[in-house]
Structure 1
Amino acid sequence: MSFPFGFGPLGRFFRPAQKRQIEAGGGGRRWEGAGMLHAPQTQTLAARGAAKARANAAYLNNPIANRAIEVWGSTLGKGWQVRSYDRAANDAFEDLIRPFMLPLARALVRDGEAFVQLVVTSAGQLRLKHLAADQIDPSLTRDLGGGARIMAGVEYDAEDQIVAYHVLREPPGSTFTLTNETVRVPAVDMLHIFDPLFPGQVRGITWLTPVLLKLRDRDEASDALLMQLKVAALMTGYISDPDGSVAELLGTTSEGALNLALEPAMMRILPPGASVTFSKPGDGLAQIDAFLKAIDREIAAGLSLTFAMLTGDLGEANYSSERVGLLEFRRRAEMLQRNLIEGQFLRPLWRRWIEVRTLAGELPAGPAAQAELRAVRFVPPGWAWVDPKNDVDADIAAINAGLKSREEVVAARGRDIDEVDEERARDRATMPNGGNQQ
């Protein structure tokens, strides 16, 4: 009688070994020491302070970290344009936000979050106040009862909505922190900009988190390389003297040891039996450049930047690879521009700004006018051309094929189409024959 494979009298000898199918959830020696986040919302909050302090130090002391923050800061914080039916309101709002955009973007990347308090002055004007991240008291956590609570300075009601922020009067470390007290600021007067990585995350964490340890390792490796190069410049020679004949060499004697000077173009003849051995402190320097570049690539990947953007090194770049890398970077940057800068900062600020100006009688209060003002568009900063001729030709072809509008193309350049059309009209008015080519 035949049996299927694995069954019958001999089945127990041929049964395949059982293996856990999901290795990520398995155990064993390969997973020893691996980190795990069982409660990422709580653990990111606990790590926020130390990670932020290290990122601040790296920003000022580490050139790679400084460049990464500046690249992202200039990408997110470069001038935005406002487009509503009221050109004067657009210009006034742009003047309001312009000084805050780059510092806010830097803080978002470096600290992981940015806070802007909206203050209405006695004259009825809206003023922006950029707060340090730790000025929203991270140590203040308590249960308020009935489902309400304060988490790291952020107050929630029973319906899990943010209702207030608890702000220290002075930033931590300032002269007056001995008498520092917390002020409750309603949520309507505070803008909190950060990229939540996990559901329920209360505070942001620095964007340098994945690479902070790698940045430190890279910095130490660079310092070790510099020290190795200094040592390599100190060539040391050792003379072996089996039969004691070195005494015949001319030199200076110090504490019973003979010191021989080596000078350019000098030749010395050693006595029979003597030999010279030189130290080689520079061994391995040929591989250090490739090693540092490998670390830089890991850091660039952790920061969603290309290697060339992070280091400024274009030695290995070519047109095709850089274009592909820039396109991927732009997709992520545009997502962050829309979700963070526009969604969490510009739009709520615009709504509050027009409310304050309407109450002050500076904007029309009618429903139609208010609806038109709220239908605002924000134009993000444009991108520099990678290949101007081909890019323009592609845009022209897309417009002619009906795949893009002129407004979309102009907005992608970071321009306002109304301004472009006005400039073109002025050009036509001042050029011979209305600007027509003969």
Structure 2
Amino acid sequence: MARALNDDFEALFLPVLTLAIRALVRDGEAFLRIHVTAGREIRLKALPAEQVDPTIHRDLGDGGRIVAGIEFDAEDEVVAYHILPEAPGTPFVTYGEAVRVPAHDVLHLFDPLFPGQVRGLSWMAPVLLKLRDRDEASDALLMQLKTASLITGYVRDPDGTFAGFEGQASSRALNVALEPGAMRILPPGADVTFSNPGQGLSQAVDFLRAQDREIAAGTGLTFEALTGDLTQTNYSSARVGLLEFRRRAEMLQKTLIEGQLLRPLWLRWITRRSLADEIDTGGDALSDFLSVRFVAPGWQWVDPRNEVEADVAAIEAGLKSREEVVAGRGRDIDELNEEIARDAGRDQKDAAA
């Protein structure tokens, strides 16, 4: 039963999970509207952030208010969302008044940065100006490289006779093309110098790398993850940066994806199935269904041998449970135990044969 429920629940949220997480990073928030079909099935629809009308601000009296399209009651609890019929900018759309949708039909994901915040802030906001400067600096460096490939010579001609060169004269200047293998004898006092536009390129590369480090810090990524540049990284520094990034990612998985999306959705979904008598929740069975465990995707090993040996030692020393280690690798311990039992059964059959 657990496996069947898991498959059905994944079929419900997986199609919109990627859209929601991308919107969470891009817009700072993601909205999912819960629809109940004619067959009493739950469906999810991802909404653009601007479809929850941010222009609605209203005092409803008795402590109630609407802030940026989100309605609060006197207890400062979210009770409804005011959603436009269509997202702004949709082709051939006819704009209408925002529709009030009860809060239990909307899932709102965002990372609050300060008390009283009601809407999300794009995760790219701290680095948007820096990204623009980085792009312009990269374009300027490219133009400098193109200019460096052009060699320009300057002839100093004291007597104004063009030093014996022939070409197209303009005012008091003469444009002379460079020809391979040509030799020129200049009159006394004349000399030739060439421009050197490629100076400072090495400093520009270091400058761009410093910009990339600031952008990585502003987005919560490591420099290596942002750029894919591992040239200045050793094993120890890469591991330290990766562990720090993993801690932040696991915090976001727990508080945003699980806390604001999966658990509220599971509560609504499993309660509906219980009321429809699709699962047996007699007695204390409902509490078992509500006490769901979500297992996040596991992380790839940096040093498989050393990490496995460290986990085994931690389990033997009682510092970690086997379930914690298995969950850290993105597996469910019940499924793993079943697989191990099946393998053991096959080995016994092979030995008997």
Measured against the shorter chain, the TM-score band is over 0.9
Show the counterpart of 2:167. Answer: 252
Matched residues in 2 for 1:359 and 1:130: separation?
26
TM-fit CA distance, 1:150: 0.4
Matched residues in 2 for 1:429 and 1:269: separation?
94
Q: Does 1:341 align with 2:257?
A: yes
Asked if the contact 1:246–1:270 (Cα under 8 Å) also holds between the matched residues in 2, the reply is no
AA partner of residue 280 (structure 1)? N
Aligned counterpart for 2:235 among listed residues 319, 325, 342: 319
Structure 2 unaligned blocks of 5 or more: none
Structure 1 residues 253 and 176, CA gap change in structure 2 (3 angstroms): closer
TM-fit CA distance, 1:254: 4.3
Structure 1 residue ranges, 4+ long, deviating more than 6 angstroms after superposition: 432-435
Structure 2 counterpart SS, 1:378: coil
Percent of aligned pairs sharing the same letter: 64
Q: Does 1:218 align with 2:142?
A: no
Show the counterpart of 2:334. Answer: 418
Matched residues in 2 for 1:125 and 1:432: separation?
45
Show the counterpart of 1:31. Answer: none
Aligned counterpart for 1:156 among listed residues 65, 72, 81: 72
CA displacement, residues 293-347 of structure 1 (integer Å, 9 cap, x when unaligned): 1111111111121110111100001100010111111111111111111111100
CA displacement, residues 115-174 of structure 1 (integer Å, 9 cap, x when unaligned): 111110011100001110011000011111111110000001111111000001101101
Matched residues in 1 for 2:238 and 2:91: separation?
48
Equivalent runs, 1:21-420 vs 2, <5 Å = 86-249=2-165, 251-255=166-170, 257-420=173-336
Structure 1 residues 349 and 209, CA gap change in structure 2 (3 angstroms): same
TM-fit CA distance, 1:425: 2.4
AA partner of residue 123 (structure 1)? G
TM-fit CA distance, 1:230: 1.5
- After TM superposition, the structure 1 stretch with the greater mean CA deviation from structure 2, 237-246 or 217-226, is 237-246
Structure 2 counterpart SS, 1:379: coil
The alignment covers a number of residue pairs equal to 350
Asked if the contact 2:48–2:87 (Cα under 8 Å) also holds between the matched residues in 1, the reply is yes
TM-fit CA distance, 1:192: 0.5
Structure 1 residues 247 and 321, CA gap change in structure 2 (3 angstroms): closer
AA partner of residue 256 (structure 2)? L
Matched residues in 2 for 1:223 and 1:248: separation?
40
AA partner of residue 127 (structure 1)? R
AA partner of residue 18 (structure 2)? L
Matched residues in 2 for 1:236 and 1:300: separation?
40
Asked if the contact 1:245–1:273 (Cα under 8 Å) also holds between the matched residues in 2, the reply is no
Structure 1 counterpart SS, 2:174: strand
TM-score by length of structure 1 reads 0.76
TM-fit CA distance, 1:264: 3.9
Matched residues in 2 for 1:285 and 1:117: separation?
52
TM-fit CA distance, 1:365: 3.8
Asked if the contact 2:163–2:186 (Cα under 8 Å) also holds between the matched residues in 1, the reply is no
AA partner of residue 230 (structure 1)? K
Asked if the contact 1:246–1:274 (Cα under 8 Å) also holds between the matched residues in 2, the reply is no
Asked if the contact 2:33–2:47 (Cα under 8 Å) also holds between the matched residues in 1, the reply is yes
Greater length-normalized contact order (CA 8 Å, ≥ 6 residues apart):
1
CA displacement, residues 367-396 of structure 1 (integer Å, 9 cap, x when unaligned): 422111001111111111010000000011
AA partner of residue 162 (structure 2)? V
Structure 1 counterpart SS, 2:294: strand
CA displacement, residues 95-123 of structure 1 (integer Å, 9 cap, x when unaligned): 22222222211111111001111110011
Structure 1 counterpart SS, 2:284: helix
Matched residues in 2 for 1:285 and 1:113: separation?
40
Structure 1 counterpart SS, 2:134: helix
Please, what is the CA RMSD of the aligned residues?
1.8
